[in-house]
């Protein structure tokens, strides 16, 4: 099935504001399976993500947004193309180097929180630093728990925390090692709308107040609206780029992807949508 929005491979989605690039993808391609069963999950994606900003990757399910994130985070290997974290090319790194990279320079926030049930909130947060054999920056730790509002919950185990609180602990865990970038995979997917909104506000605050870089994968336009920028993806290609998305503009962008006519890309929300075909 043809996509509605199309970005030529030689024109990377530009990073607005000319900020330093935290993460870059160049002709990033991923195919699964062989022969008849080949699935093209990513098809020559070029995209840049700026430092100190909150970017959402949006797309319908099966669009390749999760695959893109796996490759950018060094969780999975690309079929071809390159992915960069700062100046480091992560495509082609071996498992050991990728482990070190994840440990020192990347943070993760998962849809299902993935906290270790037998550890307290505090132990969960400090675990990445301990795995790296480092010492916890006490001031940074205090700043994080203060900002995320989990100071009174530090001695509790995940089972004793609400979903929203668990996800805030997970965010603290992702930020504790002061990584170059945090990847959040549908961070509100398992939360009710109020907790979801809280978590998204915290993510935005960590970018604005703590200067972190966050890339969030979501299919929810209202979640994407918390980001500074939304990159749209469909059928394994970049299909649009919205700066300062609102729930409406994000929804419109997604709708545009679902509509078969290419013209939709320049539809009602064009004011904030940088459609590649425009």
The contact set with another protein (CB under 8 A) reads: 66, 70, 75-76, 95-96, 99-100, 102-104, 107-108, 110-112, 114, 116-119, 127-128, 130-133, 173-174, 177, 185
User: With respect to another protein, which residue has the nearer C-beta, 7 or 177?
Assistant: 177
If you compute the radius of gyration of the chain from its CA atoms, what whole number of angstroms results? Answer: 18
Smallest gap from Cβ 173 to another protein, in A, equals 7
Q: How far apart are the first and last CA of the chain?
A: 21
Q: What is 134-173 written as a DSSP string?
A: ----HHHHHHHHHHHT-GGGTTS-GGGS-HHHHHHHHHHH
User: With respect to another protein, which residue has the nearer C-beta, 50 or 186?
Assistant: 186
User: With respect to another protein, which residue has the nearer C-beta, 75 or 210?
Assistant: 75
Smallest gap from Cβ 63 to another protein, in A, equals 14
- Contact assessment for residue 53 and residue 229, using Cβ atoms and an 8 Å cutoff: yes
User: With respect to another protein, which residue has the nearer C-beta, 51 or 111?
Assistant: 111
Smallest gap from Cβ 233 to another protein, in A, equals 16
User: With respect to another protein, which residue has the nearer C-beta, 66 or 195?
Assistant: 66
Smallest gap from Cβ 237 to another protein, in A, equals 21
CA pair distance 241, 245, nearest whole angstrom:
9
Give me the helices (H) in the chain, please.
65-72, 95-105, 121-131, 138-148, 163-175, 193-208, 221-224, 247-258
Per-residue b or e along 66-82, where b marks 16 or more CB atoms closer than 10 Å to that residue's CB:
bbbbbbbbbbeebeebb
Smallest gap from Cβ 118 to another protein, in A, equals 4
- What secondary structure letter does DSSP report for 14? P
User: With respect to another protein, which residue has the nearer C-beta, 96 or 138?
Assistant: 96
């Amino acid at each position: 099935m043809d996509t509605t929005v199309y970005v030529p491979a030689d024109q990377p989605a530009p990073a607005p504001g000319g900020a330093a690039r935290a993460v870059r993808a160049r002709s990033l391609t991923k195919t699964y399976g062989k022969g008849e069963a080949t699935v093209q999950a990513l098809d020559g994606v070029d995209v840049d993500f700026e430092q100190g900003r909150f970017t959402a990757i949006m797309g319908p399910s099966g669009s390749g947004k999760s695959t893109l994130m796996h490759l950018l985070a060094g969780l999975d290997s690309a079929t071809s193309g390159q992915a960069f974290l700062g100046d480091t090319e992560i495509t082609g790194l071996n498992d050991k180097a990728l482990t070190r990279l994840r440990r020192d320079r990347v943070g993760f926030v998962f849809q299902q929180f993935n906290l270790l049930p037998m550890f307290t909130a505090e132990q969960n947060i400090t675990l990445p630093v301990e795995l790296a054999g480092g010492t916890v920056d006490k001031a940074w730790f205090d700043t994080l728990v203060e900002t995320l509002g989990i100071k009174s919950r530090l001695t509790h185990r995940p089972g004793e925390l609400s979903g929203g609180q668990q996800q805030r602990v997970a965010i603290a865990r992702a930020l504790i090692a002061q990584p170059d970038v945090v990847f959040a995979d549908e961070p509100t997917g398992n939360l009710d709308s109020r907790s979801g909104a809280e978590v998204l506000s915290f993510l935005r605050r960590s970018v604005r107040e703590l200067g972190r870089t966050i890339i969030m994968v979501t299919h929810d336009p209202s979640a994407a609206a918390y980001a500074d920028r939304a990159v749209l993806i469909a059928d394994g290609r970049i299909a649009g780029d919205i700066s300062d998305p609102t729930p409406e503009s994000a929804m419109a962008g997604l709708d545009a992807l679902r509509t078969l006519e290419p013209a939709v890309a320049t539809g009602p929300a064009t004011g904030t949508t940088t459609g590649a075909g425009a």
